[in-house]
Structure 1
Amino acid sequence: MSIISTAQGADETTTPITHSPDTPLVTTQSAHDWGLTTLEWTRYQQLKRGERGIWSPALDPLTTLGVEATTDAERRHYADLLVEKESQRVDKELAFQRAYDKAWKRRFPVLSPVNDVSSAPDVPVNRRLAVFVREGCTACDHTVSGLLKAGNPLDIYLVDSNGDDTRLRRWGVTHHIDVARVKRRDITLNHDGGRWEHYGHGKMPAVLGKEGATWQSVTR
């Protein structure tokens, strides 16, 4: 807060000037962080103050703009931006996970931060899980079906999809993935991009749950 002094005759008064938390500089930076123009960011802020903000108060800017888009071109634009943003997020988390794994091995070379919970097959419903699957994998289909029925939030990674979005969508349709859950980010469908090789420990399917800074292998 800055103070501006104003002379009025013999008297001097001070007027407090407060700055809005959403100054043009902050708006520009926030828009840039999400790959948006300042005009798009303003549109997002307007949507947050309307019905969409009431229905989905925690929705990210790209999904908010995407679901409220008025043309197919707009939807594709925001979908592309969201895929890129999600990829960056996952890559950052996995990069930190690799650093954590190395740090653990340095300090505790005879212990492993990844545990196999074969004695506890029932996973809490509110626990978000990462699931690595392949096409034509009966065990994968059975596991995914069980997790969908349990209601767990899921990040599903299709191994060997070669970045083919058509294959990914076809897999989702074939396995009756609820579109409504996908729209609210309760379920995400992703290309594996080589992540299974690092975290799957040779298992297919592989189900992982986040415990603090570590990924915990879950056997169902």
Structure 2
Amino acid sequence: MNARAWMMRAALGAGLLGMLPAVASASDSAPSQARDHEDRSSAPGEHLDRSQWSELEDEEWERYESLMKGPRGLWSPDLDPVWVLGIHARSGEERRRMAEIAVERERERVSQELAFQYAYDDAWDRLYPDETPFASDETDADEASRQDPSQREASEREAAQQEASIEDVGPGDRVALVTRAEDCSTCEEVLERLIGALSEGAGWQADVFVLDAESDHEVREWATEHQVPPQLVETQRLTLNRDEGELAELEVPALYRRDGAQWEPLAW
């Protein structure tokens, strides 16, 4: 599936938001908002499932609840417990512990989202192999249907060239690179560009997933061999991750940028 079709399909998900029922007027919603604020202030953290935060000790959970009864509960009522505890850490060790928990949770979320996005794309290609989804207009669709295979391939290459690249990633974005530890020269080139941009002060973060590493030690050795700057890892601007099979079917190198709830492919 070409990059243009991928991004147009992702845009449909955002378009569906416009089909939701209209919200109540400001005057109608004010009482319920006030009640919601009162409920949230009187029982901070009650809407969270304690069992979903098993990494935290009972004492840490109690401290989170205590902090949410103060100004933090007003400033950031939806901030997750790990970030609340990390921001209000009482020591460097406590701050590091919360940072590590946050990184592990983020890594798991990213790998699951990427794996499902790939499965979704693969399912579309299997179920509708000859269909161009969500063409911009009938003329484009008719033109594509009249093209011979070589013309379609050229069109797809042109679309890929117009795809967003690392240079288009903005501050606050997050990039994911899926690579192999060995036998992938293109992977090494993409990694170098990624590291170069971060080292030059790019204001975004990156997660690197190594497909064929059997242990965290192998990932660290791979990072040393490829001269991944330790300071990027220490400051969590770049995370190193060992894939546990969820991303094994991706063609590498695979480069994505998170765009809201979707992962947009980046040209490399």
What TM-score, normalized by structure 1, do the two folds share? 0.59
The corresponding residue for 1:208 is 256
Contact 2:256/2:263 (<8 A) preserved: yes
Percent identity over paired residues:
29
Give 1 or 2: higher strand fraction: 1
The corresponding residue for 1:6 is none
Structure 2 residue 241 is matched with structure 1 residue 190: yes
Give 1 or 2: higher helix fraction: 2
Two-structure CA RMSD over aligned residues (Å): 4.6
Contact 1:158/1:168 (<8 A) preserved: no
Gaps of 5+ in 2: 1-36, 134-155
Q: CA deviation at 1:24?
A: 6.4
The corresponding residue for 1:30 is 49
**Aligned partners of 1:163 and 1:59: how far apart in 2?**
32
Indicate the structure whose relative CO is greater, using CA pairs within 8 Å and at least 6 residues apart: 2
Contact 2:177/2:255 (<8 A) preserved: yes
**Aligned partners of 1:106 and 1:146: how far apart in 2?**
38
**Aligned partners of 1:31 and 1:142: how far apart in 2?**
41
Cα distance per residue 1:56-104 (max 9 Å; x no partner):
99864225435726485x6786566546533542354245425533553
Gaps of 5+ in 1: 1-17
* AA in 1 matched with 2:212: D
The corresponding residue for 2:179 is 133
Contact 1:44/1:64 (<8 A) preserved: yes
Contact 1:130/1:156 (<8 A) preserved: yes
Change (3 A) 1:123 1:157: same
The corresponding residue for 1:124 is 169
Aligned with residue 210 of structure 2, among 145, 158, 181 = 158
Change (3 A) 1:129 1:50: same
What TM-score, normalized by structure 2, do the two folds share? 0.51
Instruction: Tell me the number of residue pairs that the alignment of Structure 1 and Structure 2 aligns.
Output: 195
Change (3 A) 1:29 1:215: closer
**Aligned partners of 1:103 and 1:215: how far apart in 2?**
17
Structure 2 residue 193 is matched with structure 1 residue 143: yes
